[in-house]
Structure formats: structure tokens, C-alpha cells
A and B are shown apart, each in its own frame.
Chain A
Amino acid sequence: MDPITVVIVEDDERFRAAFTAVVAEAPDLRLAGAAGDLPQGLQLLREHRPDVLLVDLGLPSGSGIELIRFAHDHLPQTDVMVITVFGDEPHVMASLEAGATGYLLKDSGAADLTEQIRALRAGGSPISPVIARQLLLRLAPEPAPTAQSEALLSPQERQVLTLSAKGFSFEEIARMLGVSRHTVMTYVKRSYRKLQVHSKTEAIYEARKLGLVRD
């Protein structure tokens, strides 16, 4: 099996070094390159078309969101993982909307990092209850779901998100639903994709309401 190619874009030198070291040491991962700012990061992405992009949101020459968007629009094979300090809701939701499918806390240990990259490649990274809750609110609003919002999430996806919001782990959810852990992760990843599509249509809808876009 081919190793997973990884590009790292992180402005903090020490973190970059730490991540680079971890990736270099893992036998099934291959470091394609590491950059410290947005232009370099873009160049690396264009050159290497990696399997995984690790990106910090706060870059000196522009937000990591732009990189995520670029990867999402031009590199469909690339999975994006965001590096955040706290994994708080505003940062994570913005990243997910832009096209990320996983996030990593900055202080994660080496074992965590490789495991999460593998998980991301396999399906998606663990989802925090607060984010699951937000996804449910956005994609399946509780009061009177319309035909459209109903169609956004499949019953399984909705169930996985609901249980995630209550704090159950993927293993527990897989046991409860009688499916594999991998399947549960696929549901989560699909929900992320739907959020991206949904936030785009939402943006168009908002823009149309404001008269910025014609039909």
C-alpha cells in the first residue's frame, strides 16, 4: 500500500518541526513538504497534490481557510485536517464549511497525530459533541423540518450525529447501531460534505435575498 503523502502548513516553527518529525517517523506516512505561510503552502499543494493537508488556521499571510477552500475546490483527493489550539466551535465550523473533514488539537501527542491522520484518510476524525450538535442544528433543524432540510441528512447520519452530541464515542455508536466503526466515521464525513454544500447554497440563498446574485 502506498504511504499517505502529507503537506504541513504551520507558521510556528517548533510545531512545524514537531509535526514534521512525527510524520517522517511514521512508516505509512510520507512528508511531501512543510510550509510556513500561505503562498508556499499553495505552491506545495499544486506541486504535490498530497493525500492529506495539515493546516493551521492562523497564518501570517492569510487565513488557512483559503488553503482549505483551494484544496477542496481543486484537489478532490486531498483530505484537509485543521490544526487548532482548542477545537472551539467557531474555528471548527468555519473550517468544516470551507472543506476540512477533521481537526487536530495542537498539543496532541505523536501517537495521536499519526492515528488521526490515518482515521481521517479512512473516514473522518472524531467529532466533538458541540460540533455534532451544530451540524444537527444546521442540517436538520428540530422545529418542523422542511422537505429540503429533511433530505439533507439520512436517518443514519442524523442518528450518528445525535449520539455524538450526547458524548458517545464512535465505538459505542457502532455497537448501538450494529455497524462498524468505519461506517460510523463515513456517516460523519458525509455530514461534513453536506455541510459544505449546504453552506454554499445557504450563502447563495443569502446573497440572492440581498440581491447580490441573479437567478
Chain B
Amino acid sequence: MVAALGVMLGLVGSGSPPAAGVPPQQFTQAWEHSLLFDDSRLDAGILHTARPNLPAPDDLSAWRAVALPRQEPTKEAPSPDAPEPLKVWWYRVAYTVPAGLEGPLALYVPRVGGGAAQVVEHDGQHWQLRWDGVDRWREQWNRPILVDLGRAPPAGQTLQLAVGLIRHDFGSHRIARISVGPREELAFRDSWRRQLQLTAPQVGSLTFLALGLFSFLFWFRRRSEQAYLLFFFSSVVWTLRSLHYYIDFPRDETAYVWFWWATNATLSWVMMLIYLFAFRFDPRSYPRVERALVVFVLAMSVVTMPMPWTESSSLILQHLCNSAVAIGVTAFLSVLAWRGGGREFRVIVGALWVCEVFGAHDLLLVAGWVGPESIYLLPFATVLVLLAFLYAVQRRYAQAIDQVEGANQRLEQRLAEREAELQANHERLRGVEREQALLLERQRLMRDMHDGLGSTLMSSLVLVEQGRLDAPAVAVLLRECVDDLRLVIDSLEPIGHDLVTLLASLRHRLGRRLEAAGLGMQWEVEDLPPLEWLHPPDALQVLRIVQEVLTNVLKHASAQTVRIATRRHGDEVQVLIEDDGRGFDPEAAGGGRGLRHLVQRAARLGGRLVLDSAPGQGTRIQLDLPLQRSMRA
């Protein structure tokens, strides 16, 4: 953007023509003639006549040579109450049409300051009004003058032209160099100047305002970030301040005066807001300096108010005060930024210094110490400040995001650590569980060995050692031991929680023995859903119950057939073992102990065992087991 600015300025300075041709003539000298009106007022429509009252060009005694650009020395009023007459200063140039010039001619003056302007041309006998800017005297200070002179006369002919400047007698005015030449080229220069003096401040300030509104919305969500609010106010005030570069001024006298007051006052406000903004980028706060700044600006604004009873103050004096304060504060900020400010703070301070320089330039331009052909630079300085602000805000924003990201990262890391911890805990727990399961299994096996196999073997050993057991009896005992061992092994086989497969493996074991004992088997199993609780310990209990029942049938029942059936019944599965043997009376004593034992085992499994028998009726044993068991018994 700065580079683009440079290119724009360069273009204006060199005034590159749109097409090669005869260049315009720029007059560095003119003939001046001043004329006093009696009691007219500036806005009373003076000189609205077709023939201004001017001496003829060849009346050399009336015209005196002056250099252009021209800064007319200030004339002080003799006393505050002295009547202020209206005066017009004419600057005459003689343009001789060069050879080769075609097309229409024009007159161009980059800047006329201090009054209203008119352009006249001498037709040989009279001065004729060519362009009248009296109505626009309020805006004239910042508008270039371009006057169409019509078709160019034949080469060698001379045009007598004069630019008039009308103002009150006390004060001063300035006029840039007058150019006359091909209209196309001069219109191009005029257009560029308008872009720089009117359009650029307008576009710049409105852009600033848009960003300011954005900043305001941001501040609305985060009230603690004062910098955003200050940014917003700066943009609003700067927009007000920039109006005078491009709008048409109020026609009403009071409004006009107040408008100028606001324009000058807002410059102080902008200055103050920008400094307050800049202070936000220093880690420390300086409430005293800030308060002093606010007091100064408010006092300045009040003092310069155009009240009927106040004297009209000097614009230059007001801005000199502003400049002095600005330089002081900027120097202070520079020290702060130099000592320990962040990068954004330094960038802001750099932009502020550029502002100071540009502001000084503009003040000198107003005062006439810089030629009137220069343009006002403060609008461009504001663009720089705006960029610095944006940079600072962006840095802050980016830092905030970085912080959030850093925090997120730390959070994620902590989460990962916690997860790993949990995982480790889980692993440990599972290890403990596994060990616990192994321990339980070992204990179960130990118990089985102890109660079953171990005790049988031990009692057999004692009997054999005492010689009280013959070989067939030992064989029976050992057979029992092997059978019991097989039950344990069967209970460990992969049966997939299927009770039918479990019973089937028992049948597979005992089938041949039952057959050999002459006991027929009726196998009527029905498919059953898997019993999730049927783990090896429970499977062993089931096998023991059924095996004991079958052993009882073999030993006591004298039965021909035994029927084994399974079926599902509601929430239970049933195992039926029926024989057609001689039966017995369950009420009578006798087989009571073995039966109680079976009932207890069934109860431990979460089921129940029902015996139904009568002498001569066979025996029916029903083992009910739950489909689902919430807790292991």
C-alpha cells in the first residue's frame, strides 16, 4: 500500500501524459494586480458579471511581475473592530500557442488557498469570465482548478489569461503554478490530484471505519480488551475528521464555523485515542499520562469552540500545541517501546513518528511554508497507523490463538498421560484378575483332589496296607478313582456352555458300562440354549449329580431301561432321569443321605432336584437348572 502510494505520488510529480504531444506550459512567473472592493461580502455574489473590472493586459503600470507559486504575505488587521474590506488578486499569464498543438486547451492550477477563485480571459477588448468558483469558496482550499478554454487558436497567437483570488483583506493566500496547454494532459493531472486529495482520504477513512465496526463487535464480546474499543473510536473520529477533505461544506454560517471547529478538534481526539491505544500495548499502565492527555484534548476542544463571545483563535497556534503534545507523547512511547515493548508496540510507535512528520508537513502547508502544490499527507499517515493497528491486533489475536493451541496441546498431553495410566491400571487389574482366576481354579482342583480322588485313594491305601481289601475290591476302588478323574477332565472339555454336549460326553463314557450291566438307554435330549453360567466347576457338579443318579440306578434299581431327557421349561432347563426299576419309598429312611447330598448340590448350582418314586413304580429324578444365573452361587 505504501509502495502504491509512492507510485501515485510519483505519477503526480512527473505528470506523465496520457499521450506524447505538445507539453503544457507551466508558468513560474505571473503578473499580479490587486483590487479592493468596497463593502461587499464574499458570499454576496460579487463579480458575477460577464466583464470583470480589470486593467488591460498591456497596461504595464497596473501589473507587476511575481514568481509562482506565490505566498502572499499576511496582512494584520489594524484593530479588532476595523472593517474588513473584500479584495481580489489577479495573476495574469500570456500563453502563446505553440506549433503542432491540436485539440482543446485548458488552464490548470493545482491549488489555490485562502479564498475563492475565478478565471478570466481577455478577448482583445474586454476581460471575459471563463470560470467562476465563488460559490465554492469554502471547499476551494483542497480542490484543483481545471478550466476548459475551448478549441486552440492557430499557432503563434497569444492568449491572455488571469486567475483571480478573492478574499478579505486581512490574512494571506497562496497560489500554485499555473499551467496552460492541451486539455487532455491537464485533465489527467487534475484527475490524479482529485484522487489523492479527495478520494484517497475518503476511501481510507471509510475503510478505517469498517474495520473499526468490526473491532467494536469484537470488543462487545470481550469487554476487557479496551484496545479494540479504542480502535473503534479512533476510526469513528477519524472518519469525522476526514470529512473536510472531500465533502461540500455547510452553507449556513454557524454550521460552517462549527464544522471547522469539529474538524480541528477531532484531530486532537484522534491523536488522543491513538495514543491511548498505543499505551495498551505496553505491559505497564500510565494512568496519569493518559489522564493528562485527555484533559489537554478536552480543554483544547473547549477553548477553540466558536462561541459568539470568543475571539476566533489561530488555527496554526492550535495545531502547534497539538504537535508539541504529540511529539512529547510519541517520544515517551518511543522510550517505552525501546525499553521493553513488544514488536507490535514498536511498529505502532514507528507509524506514529511517520504521523508526526506528515502532520508537521500539513501544518507547514497550511501556514504557507510548504508550497501550495504539495498535498495533505495526514490521510496517508492514517493509513499507515491503521496498518500498524491491524498488525498489532493481528499479532494479539495470533498470540491468543497460539496460547489456546498450546493449552489444548497440554490438555491433550495430560489426557494421553491419564489414558496411559488408566490403561496400565486396567492391565494390572486384569493381571490380578487372571491370577485370581488361576488361584480359584487351583483351589478348586485341590479341593476336588482332596475330597474325591485323594480321600478315596488314601482310604483304599489304608485298607490295602491293613490287608483288608482283596484284589477285586481294589480294582473297584481304583475304577471309581479313574471315573472321578474322568469327570474332572470332562468338565474341562470345550462344550461351549451346552448342557446337552456335557450330558452326551457322560453318556459316551458310561454307555458301554451301562450296556454291559444290561441297562438300556433311552436318550431323548432336546436342544437347549447355551447356559452362560455353565463353567467347568458347575459342569463338574452337574456331571457328579447325573453320574451318581446313574450309579444308584445301577446299584439299587434293578431296572431294564433308564431314560434321560432334557427340555426347556420356561426360565429353566430340566434334566429327567427315569428308570423302570423297583423304586422305593422316599419317606422311608435308607437312601436319605445320598439324596440329601444330591439336593444340596443342585441347590448350589442355583437349581433344584426333585425325586419321585414309589415301590414298584420306578424312580424319576428331575434336575431343574436356571437358564440364567445372575450371581455365581
Instruction: Give A residues with C-beta under 8 Å from B.
Output: 86, 88-89, 107, 112, 126, 128-130, 133-134, 165-169, 172
* 0 or 1 for each of B505-537: is its CB under 8 Å from A? (1 = yes): 101100110000000000101010000000000
Interface string of B98-141 (1 = CB under 8 A from A): 00000000000000000000000000000000000000000000
Given the interface pairs A133-B495, A166-B504, A167-B503, the reply to whether A88 lies near B489 with Cβ below 8 Å is: yes
CB-nearest residue of chain A to B482: A107
A167 touches B507 (CB 8 A): yes
- Leading 8 A-B pairs by shortest Cβ distance: A167-B504, A129-B504, A130-B493, A167-B507, A128-B508, A86-B489, A129-B505, A129-B501
Residues of B in contact (CB 8 Å), total 23
> Is B496 an interface position by the 8 A CB rule?
yes
B495 touches A130 (CB 8 A): yes
A130 to B504 Cα, complex, angstroms: 8
Q: Which residues of B contact A172 (CB under 8 A)?
A: 523
B171 at the interface (CB under 8 A from A): no
Known: A134-B494, A167-B525. A128 touches B511 (CB 8 A): no
Interchain CA distance A29-B525 in the complex, whole Å: 38
User: What A residues does B597 contact at CB under 8 A?
Assistant: none
**Chain A: which residue is nearest B521 at the CB level?**
A169
Please give me the residue from chain B that is nearest to A129 by CB atom. B504
Residue B500, interface by CB 8 Å: yes
The residue in chain B whose Cβ has the minimal distance to the Cβ of A168 is B523
Q: How many Å from the CB of A176 to the closest CB on chain B?
A: 11
Q: What's the Cα separation between A165 and B500 when bound, in Å?
A: 8
| B493 touching A166, Cβ below 8 Å | no
Which chain B positions have C-beta within 8 A of A107? 482
CA distance A74 to B525 in the complex (A): 42
A165, B485: Cα distance in complex, Å: 22
B496 / chain A contacts, CB cutoff of 8 Å = 133
A130 touches B494 (CB 8 A): yes
Contact B500 A89 (CB under 8 A): no
Hey, which chain A residues are within 8 Å of B512, CB to CB? 112
B475-488 vs A, CB cutoff 8 Å, 1 = contact: the mask equals 00000001001100
Q: Are B500 and A167 in contact (CB under 8 A)?
A: yes
Residues of B within 8 A of A134 (CB): 494
- Shortest distance from the beta carbon of B188 to any chain A beta carbon, whole Å: 81
Q: Is the CB of A166 within 8 A of B501?
A: yes
Q: List 17 A-B contacts (CB under 8 A).
A: A86-B485, A88-B492, A88-B493, A126-B508, A128-B505, A129-B505, A129-B508, A130-B505, A133-B494, A133-B495, A133-B501, A166-B504, A166-B525, A167-B503, A167-B505, A169-B511, A172-B523
Interface centre among A107, A126, A129, A165 (most CB of B within 10 A): A129
Alpha-carbon separation in the docked complex, A144 to B525 (Å): 26
A112 to B511, CA, bound (A): 13
A129-B501, A172-B523 known; 4 other A-B pairs, CB under 8 Å? A86-B485, A88-B492, A128-B505, A166-B525
Bound CA span A130–B492, Å = 11
Q: Nearest Cβ distance between residue A101 and chain B, in whole angstroms?
A: 17
Min Cβ gap B502→A in Å is 9
CA distance A196 to B15 in the complex (A): 101
Query: Contact check: which of B485, B490, B508 meets A167 at CB < 8 Å?
Result: B508
User: Which residue among A112, A126, A128, A130 has the maximum number of chain B CB atoms within 10 Å of its CB?
Assistant: A130
In the complex, A129→B492 CA distance in Å?
Answer: 14
A82 CB to nearest B CB, Å:
16
Nearest-neighbour CB distance to chain A for B480, whole angstroms, equals 13
**How does the 8 Å CB contact mask read for B398-434 relative to A, with 1 for contact and 0 for none?**
0000000000000000000000000000000000000
Q: Mark B298-327, 1 if CB is under 8 A from A, else 0.
A: 000000000000000000000000000000
- Of all chain B residues, the one with the shortest Cβ separation from A108 is B512
What are the residues of chain A within 8 A of B485 when measuring CB–CB? 86
Chain B residues with Cβ under 8 A from A126's Cβ? 508
Most buried by A among B492, B501, B525: B501
Which of B486, B496, B501, B508 is packed against the most chain A CB atoms within 10 Å? B508
How far is it, in angstroms, between the C-alpha of A167 and the C-alpha of B546 when the chains are bound?
15
Cα distance, A213 to B527, chains bound together (Å): 43
Closest A residue to B564 by beta carbon equals: A167
- A44 to B225, alpha carbons, bound, how many Å? 99
**Bound Cα distance A166, B498 (Å):** 10
Known: A86-B486, A126-B508, A128-B508. A165 touches B494 (CB 8 A): no
Contacts of A168 in B (CB 8 A): 523
CB proximity of B490 to chain A, nearest CB, Å: 8
Q: How far is the CA of A112 from the CA of B515 in the complex (A)?
A: 12
Closest A residue to B488 by CB, please name it: A86
**Chain A: which residue is nearest B496 at the CB level?**
A133
Residue of A nearest to B526 (CB): A166
A89 to B536, CA, bound (A): 15
* B491, chain A: closest CB distance, angstroms: 11
Residues of chain A with a CB closer than 8 A to B527's CB? 166
Q: Which residues of the partner chain B approach A88 to less than 8 Å between Cβ atoms?
A: 489, 492-493
A172 to B525, CA, bound (A): 12
Chain B, residue nearest A162 (CB): B527
B208-256 residues with Cβ-Cβ distance < 8 A to A are none
Q: Which residues of A contact B503 (CB under 8 A)?
A: 167
Contact present for A166 and B500 (CB under 8 Å): yes
| Bound-state Cα–Cα, A168 to B504, Å | 8
Q: Is the CB of A165 within 8 A of B504?
A: yes
Give complex CA distance A128, B511 in Å: 11
Kindly report which residue of chain A lies nearest to residue B527, judged by CB atoms: A166
Q: Which residues of A contact B507 (CB under 8 A)?
A: 129, 167
User: For B482, what are the chain A residues with a Cβ–Cβ distance below 8 Å?
Assistant: 107
Which residues of the partner chain A approach B508 to less than 8 Å between Cβ atoms? Answer: 126, 128-129, 167
For the complex, give the distance between the alpha carbons of A183 and B503 in Å.
25
Query: Measured between C-beta atoms, what is the minimum distance from A120 to chain B in Å?
Result: 16
A116 → chain B closest CB, angstroms: 10
What's the least CB distance linking A166 to chain B, in Å?
Answer: 5
Among B490, B504, B507, the one with the most A-chain Cβ atoms within 10 Å of its Cβ is B504
From the candidates B486, B492, B501, B523, name the one contacting A165 in the complex (CB within 8 A). B501
Q: Quick one: closest A residue to B493, CB to CB?
A: A130
User: Which residues of B are found within 8 Å of A166, using beta-carbon distances?
Assistant: 500-501, 504, 525, 527
